[in-house]
Chain A
Amino acid sequence: MILGLDVGGTQTDAVLIDAGRIAAAAKIPTSRDLLATLRTALEAVLSDVAPGGLERMAFSTTMTINAIVEDRLDPTGMIVSSGPGMDPAWFSVGPSYHVVEGCLDHQGFEAKPLDRTGVQNAASRIIKEGIRILGVVSKFSVRNPLHELQAAKWAGDAFSHVAMGHRVSGTLNFPRRIATTYLNAALYRTHKNFSDALVQILKEKGLNGPRYLLKPDGGTMDLDKSIQWPARTAQSGPAASVMGALALDGCKGETLVLDVGGTTTDMAVVMDGTPLLKPLGIRLGPYRTLIRSLLTHSMGIGGDSEVRMDPKGNLRIGPIRKGKPVALGGPAPTPTDAMIALDLLTVGHRNAAAAAMERLGAPAGWDAATTAERTLQTMAEAIAASAKAFIYNINSRPVYTIHEVLADRRIKPGSVLVIGGPAPQIAGYMEKALGLPSRFPRHYGVANAVGAAVARVTSEITLQADTQRGSVVIPEADVEQAIDQDFDMEQAIALGRTALCRQAAEIGAHENGLEICITEKQMFAMIRGYARTGRNIRLRMGIMPGLIPGWEIGG
C-alpha cells in the first residue's frame, strides 16, 4: 500500500492506495502546527491499516516555503567571487555576505586566482558573528568548481554545514545560484528538524517503508536524502495537483489542467502525459532560484473568493477571500454560494446562499438565480482569460535556432481537465468559456494527495565538455574529469547517463531501467583563427516527472 499526503494552505488531504486503486481518503483542515496536521491526517487515513503494510509514503509539505515566507531562515554567511559583469553586491543575501577577488571565465579558465586571504578573512568575520552555516558561490562555477571547492576548504572547519553553488544546479545564472545556495544553507537546520520530527512520528506509528518528499518539479526525493537540498522541497503544492491530474486522467494530447481551490486556481499544461517545466527555476518568496519546477500559474480566484459588483454593474471575483461562503456562515458571497443557490452543490444553508446572491444582484435588478449563473460565468471567463495569457506567454518564449523558428511549435490545448473541490460544478462553465471539451476525474477532490503518492523520483544533470580546455564537468553530480581531443557526443551521453542514474539512485530511485530523457544536446566546433581547436559539447538530461510503476490511471 502507498500513502500520499498533501498539506495545502487550508486543507490537508491524505490518500491510501492499494494495488493501484484508492482505498481510503481523508481531508482535514490545515492547522498552524504542521507536525500536528501531519499526525492528524495520518491517523485519519490509516485508521484501518496495519503498521508495516506501507511500501511507500510521500509527502508534499509547506515546511520550507513557510520558513521562507515567514522569514524564519537560519543566519547564513555567504562568500562570493565573481569577476567582471554585474556588481556582485547587488545579489547580497543573508546577514553576512562577502565578496572576494577571483575570476573564472565562461569556459571555466581561471582568469584570476581566488584570493585565499580574502576567503579566510570573510570566514573569520562570519564565525565572529556567531554564524556556523556557510554558502560559497562563484561565477561560472558550473564550468569549473575550483573556486568554490577552494573557498569551502579555506573557510576552515568551524562550520557545521557548507553549501556549494555548483551542486545546486548546472544552469548558468549567477544571481540565482547565489539565492539557491543561500536557501539550501539557510533552510538546512529548519528542514532537518522537520525531517527528524516527521521520522519520529512515522516511527511511533510503526511506519517504516521508504519515505519521500514531493518537489516542485513533480518528482519525489527520499526524505532522508532531502537534508542536503531543503530548498528543493519548497512549494510542491502546484506540482502535486499536476501530478494528481496526470495520475487520475492520463492527460493524453495537449491538456490544460486547472486546479480550482478555495482562494486560487492553479494552471498547467501537460503534453501527452509530460508536464511542461519552467525554463530556469521556481521563485520562492522574494528569491528567484534554479530549483527545477513545473510551469504553473496561479491566479487569485477560487470557490471561496469574494464576489462583488462594481459601480458599472459588472461582477468582480477575488483575489480577496473574506472567509467561508455565506452558506457556511461566512461574511461575503462567493462562487460556492452561487453553486449552492443553483443547487449544483448541497452543503450549508441554501437559503442564506440564495439571499446573498439576491443582495449581490439587486443593484442590477437580477434575481438570485441570474446572479448565481453570472457569477459562475464570470469566474470561468476570468480563469479562461488568465489561461489564454498563460499559454500565450509559453508560446512567446524565445528560440535560438532556425529550425525552431521555422518549426514554430505552438501549444494549443485540445481539452481541459478540472480538479479541486468545485471541479464538477465549474467544468461545464469552463467548457463554454474556453470553447474546449472540459472534464473532471473521479477523486477530483484528493488529486493532490494522489499526485504526491504516485510521483516517481526525478533528477537532472547538465554536462559540458570542452576539449580545448580538456575537461568535462557535471556540476550537480560532482563529476569533473580530464578528457582528450577525441571526446565525442557518444561518450558524453554515456558519461551523463551514468552520473544521472547514480544521482537518481542516491535520492531514492530504486527501480531498474530508468526512463532518461535528453532535453538539450548541442555540439559546437571551436575554431581559433580558421583552425579547429576543439569541440564544445552541452548536454542536459533527466528523469522527467512521471508516475511510479504499478499505478493504474484513474485510481
Chain B
Amino acid sequence: MLRASRRTGLVFFPAFDWAISPTHPEREERLLYTQDQVLEEGLLDVDGIIEYRVRPAAFEDIQRVHFCVPDEESVATESHLIAAGGCLVAADAVLRGEVKSAFALVRPPGHHAMRVVHGNRGFCNINNEAIMIEYIREQYGIRRVAIVDTDCHHGDGSQDIYWHDPDTLFISIHQDGRTLYPGSGFPREFGGPNAQGMTVNIPLPPQTGEEGFLYVLEELIMPLLEKFEPEIVINSAGQDNHFNDPITNMNFSARGYAALNARLKPDIAVLEGGYALENALPYVNVGIIMAMAGLDTSFVKEPNYERDYRPQRDDITQYIKDLVVRLRDMFLEGHLEKAACKEGLVIERSRDIYYDTDHIHERQHEKIRCCNTCSGALSIASTSNRGQHILAVLIPLGACKECRKTGLAWFEKAIRGAYTHVYLLDRVRGVYERT
C-alpha cells in the first residue's frame, strides 16, 4: 500500500457556505475543485496522511494577537473563527507528535490582517498564522518561530504583528510591491528597533518563474533559516504566484510549489491566497500535500503546463541574482544599516492603513520602547473614518520589568483619555482588557 514517508496532517475547511460576496474571488466555490482533485487522487487513503476535523477558535485565541475594533464579534465571522481554529488543529497535530507536518487548507485567508483590526483588508480579517503561533507559544512553550510567506502578495499583516518581535523571523517572498497590492514589502522594511533584521522582504519581479523562486529559496531563505535556527517553521502557503492566477503576474507552477515545499519542509503550512481555482489550486494543493508526505511529485503538472508555462526570461534571472546578492549582504553578511536603539528610548511612527475590502481608512500612531532584553512595550493609537478612536497597549511575552512598567503606565494614562476604547494585552500575566 502507498505509504507517506513523512506522516502528514491535513485540515481541510473549504467553507462551502461562506463568501465575501457572491462574485468575489473569496467565495464558496474556491476550494471545490481542489477538494475534487484531492479526493480523486485518493490522497486521504495514503497511509500516513491523516485528515483532521476543524474546530472554531475562541475569542481568547484571537485576543493573544489582535486588538479588534470595536470587538471580536464585529470583525470575525464564524468562518474566520473556524479557519483560524483549523490552524490550531494543525498545530496540535504537529506539536503532539501525531504527525511530522501539517497543512491547514482553510479559508478565508489571514496574512493581511494586522495587529489592530477594523475590518477586512485584502480578503483577510484575522491573521490565522499569528493566532496559531501565539497559541503554540502559550500551549507548547515554543519561542523561536520562522514564517516563510510565499503568497504572491506581501504578507503585510504578519509583518505588522511581528515587526517588533526578535523571536520571530518573518520572511516574505512576493511580487514587487510597485506592481501589486498591498504595495509594500521592500528590503528596507526589515523590522522595528528591537527586531532589526527579523523581517526579510524579497520583492520579485513580475514573471518570476520556477527557476527564480527555487533560486531565492536555496540561496537566501534556507541560509537565513539555518542562521536563525527556529524551533518551528510556518509556511504561509499562498498559491497566487501561479502562471494561471487571474489577479497576479507571476510564473510559478504546481511542480514548483511542490519542489519549494519539499525543500523548505515547513512544520505547518497554512493556505493563504490563490484564485485560479480551477486550473491552479487543484494541482498546487495536490503537489504540496504529496511533497509534505514525502511522495514523488514528478507526475504533478497542470494539464496546460506544456502549452502555457514559459521558462523564466534571462533578464529576470539576472535581476533576481542581483537582488539576492544585495539581500545576502544585508541579512547574512551583517551589513544592515540598523537604526540606533538605545535602551529606554521611545520611538514613534505614524502611518495610514487602507482596508481595500471594507473601504476603511485608518490612521495609526505607534510608540515602542527600545529594549535590549525583550520585544518592548508597544502602544498603538488608532483612528478610523468609522468614528473609532482607540489606544491599545501590548506588553509582550517575556517582557522585562521596565517594559511592563512602561506599558502599564501608558494604559493607565490612556483610560483617562478621550478614546472610544482602550485595550491592554499583557502577555506576561495572560490578561486581555478592553474598556
Contact = CB atoms under 8 A, between A and B. Distances in A.
Interface of A: 82-88, 90, 103, 105-107, 111-112, 139-140, 171-176, 280, 286, 288, 396-403, 405-406, 522, 524-527, 529-532, 536
Interface in B43-80: 43, 45, 51-56, 78-79
B14 interface: yes
A86 B12 contact: no
A526 B37 CA distance: 17
Contacts, number: 122
B82 A536 contact: no
Given A84-B283, A112-B303, A400-B13, A172 B40 contact: yes
Contacts of B14: 400
Nearest to B299: A87
Nearest to A287: B1
Give the top 8 A-B pairs by smallest Cβ distance, nearest first.
A111-B303, A175-B42, A172-B39, A172-B40, A106-B36, A84-B301, A401-B17, A524-B29
B32 A524 contact: yes
Contacts of A536: 29, 32
Contacts of B16: 400-401, 522, 524
A396 B78 CA distance: 20
Interface stretch (B20-28, B261-269, B419-427): B20-28
Contacts of A174: 40-42
Given A139-B40, A173-B45, A399-B53, A83 B17 contact: no
Given A527-B29, A530-B23, A286 B1 contact: yes
A398 B52 contact: yes
Nearest to B28: A524
23 contacts: A83-B303, A84-B300, A85-B286, A85-B299, A86-B41, A87-B296, A106-B37, A106-B282, A107-B33, A111-B303, A175-B41, A288-B45, A398-B11, A400-B13, A400-B15, A402-B18, A402-B79, A405-B54, A405-B55, A524-B16, A525-B27, A527-B29, A532-B23
A167 B16 CA distance: 28
B311 to A, nearest CB: 19
A530 B55 CA distance: 31
Interface in B241-259: 246, 254
B37 A85 contact: yes
A335 B37 CA distance: 49
Interface residues of B, number: 52
Given A111-B303, A525-B22, A402 B17 contact: yes
B45 A85 contact: no
B304 interface: yes
A140 B40 CA distance: 7
Contacts of B302: 84
B189 interface: no
B82 A84 contact: no
User: Which of A87, A173, A402 lies at the interface centre, i.e. has the most chain B CB atoms within 10 A of its CB?
Assistant: A402
Contacts of A532: 23
B82 A402 contact: yes
B314 to A, nearest CB: 28
A527 B303 contact: no
B2 interface: yes
A405 B82 contact: yes
A300 B52 CA distance: 27
B29 A399 contact: no
B28 A106 contact: no
Given A106-B36, A524-B32, A525-B22, 14 more contacts: A84-B254, A105-B279, A112-B303, A173-B45, A398-B12, A398-B51, A400-B13, A400-B14, A400-B35, A401-B16, A402-B82, A524-B29, A525-B27, A530-B23
B216 interface: no
Contacts of A401: 15-17
A59 B11 CA distance: 42
A406 B39 contact: no
Nearest to B283: A84
B290 interface: yes
A406 B18 CA distance: 13
Nearest to B304: A111
Nearest to B303: A111
B257 to A, nearest CB: 13
A176 B45 contact: yes
Contacts of A175: 2, 41-42, 45
B298 interface: yes
A526 B29 CA distance: 7
A106 B33 contact: yes
A536 B16 CA distance: 13
B278 interface: yes
Contacts of A176: 42, 45
B303 A105 contact: yes
Contacts of A103: 303
A140 B39 CA distance: 10
Contacts of A172: 36, 39-40
